[in-house]
Structure 1
Amino acid sequence: MPKVINIEPTPNPDALKFLVNPAVLKAGSRSFKDFGAAVGDPLGSALFGLGKVTSVFYMDRFVTVNKESSAEWSDLIDPICEAIEDLKLPDDATGEGPRLAQGAGADEKLARIHELLDTRIRPGLAGDGGGLEVISFDGQTLEISYHGACGSCPSSTSGTLRYIEGMLQEEVDPAIRVISW
């Protein structure tokens, strides 16, 4: 069972990052934007079951929980910690499956995009309790989805998105456009 060892604020006032030991996943991540999406996931279901939770994102050694803006953290922190600490970890806890399939002509670009996201973007997002997933890439337009604290943070849909687009235009292809949903 994981133990919550620290709780950190994120740039999003409606999200907290719960640091845990041991890791809740050996690889990948899991992200849920509502209770229905979390059905079948013990941690996601337990956290949404508390009420006032609007999203759950977890990977490695942290769990990020977003709450309704009207909810108070003082009412949620203890139940969230209990739900995390009650989780029984399977021996093979892993998250998302293989990366987005790469189409002809986009193989090298997409591989380079993933390399840049893995080394320069995802670590920073994870530091703030968030992450991103590549949804699609047609060779010119990269569609991404933010998770965790980044999922409802205004800066992720403006400044961060523009930074990612500028970096990819400079280092991969000047014609790349990045959109989020």
Structure 2
Amino acid sequence: MFIQTEATPNPEVLKFLPGRDVLGEGSRDFRSADEAGASPLAAELFSIEGVERVHFGGDYLTVGKGRDQDWAHLKAPILAAIMDHFTSGQPLFTGEAAGVQTGGHDDEIVYEGETAQVVAEIKELLDTRIRPAVAQDGGDILFNRFEPDTGVVWLHMRGACSGCPSSSATLKSGVENMLKHYVPEVTRVEQAL
């Protein structure tokens, strides 16, 4: 098995491409070892000293390290953990979490009428134009909510995008400009926490 690595715009995050599907659809972000309990691979990665974040995408995963850690010391054990996981045939998730994948849309909020159409247009642009481009850098941008009174779209930054020095520029100049151009009801884009 050959695993490619790629730098991301975030110097604290590396992208790993195992040459096979990781999630296939959607994405999953782990911010702590406690959250990683649902995934043997994520738990193993968090057991490596210095690993602070793990993100699963369609055919890649990203690993975030602490600022005081060096990739020269972390890369080999991370590669070994990924290779061991995929060659062992273990599932990516165990128990109830096995069927859980997040595509990123906040389905708790129900939008109606004209607002529902605006939200559908926003989600369509995110899914077809923005998310595939951001995935190239090992990240993901997920819809959180739309405020029709103010025109503000709230988005979650995941993977390499989360904490990236250039994420606010990506959000403002790239994502905001595209959404405002195609969806005139959008006035601003903000990052949800």
Deviation, 1:130, is: 0.7
1:1-181 maps to which residues of 2 (within 5 A)? Answer: 3-87=1-85, 88-89=90-91, 95-96=101-102, 99-101=105-107, 102-105=110-113, 106-139=115-148, 140-180=151-191, 181=193
Indicate the RMSD between aligned Cα atoms, in angstroms. Answer: 2.2
> Do 2:153 and 2:186's aligned partners in 1 also have CA atoms closer than 8 Å?
no
Higher-strand-fraction structure: 1
Task: Determine the C-alpha separation between the residues in 2 that align with 1:98 and 1:153.
Answer: 19
Deviation, 1:137, is: 1.9
Unaligned residue ranges in structure 1 (runs of 5+): none
Deviation, 1:163, is: 2.2
Deviation, 1:179, is: 0.7
Residues 132 and 97 of structure 1: is their aligned pair in 2 closer, same or farther, counting only changes over 3 Å?
Answer: closer
| Residues 85-118 of structure 1: per-residue CA shift (max 9 Å, x gap) | 2222369776216732341142111111111112
Task: Determine the C-alpha separation between the residues in 2 that align with 1:50 and 1:109.
Answer: 44
Unaligned residue ranges in structure 2 (runs of 5+): none
Deviation, 1:83, is: 1.6
Report the TM-score when normalising by structure 2.
Answer: 0.83
DSSP 3-state at the match of 1:142: strand
Deviation, 1:73, is: 0.7
DSSP 3-state at the match of 1:154: coil
DSSP 3-state at the match of 2:162: helix
Residues 59 and 25 of structure 1: is their aligned pair in 2 closer, same or farther, counting only changes over 3 Å?
Answer: same
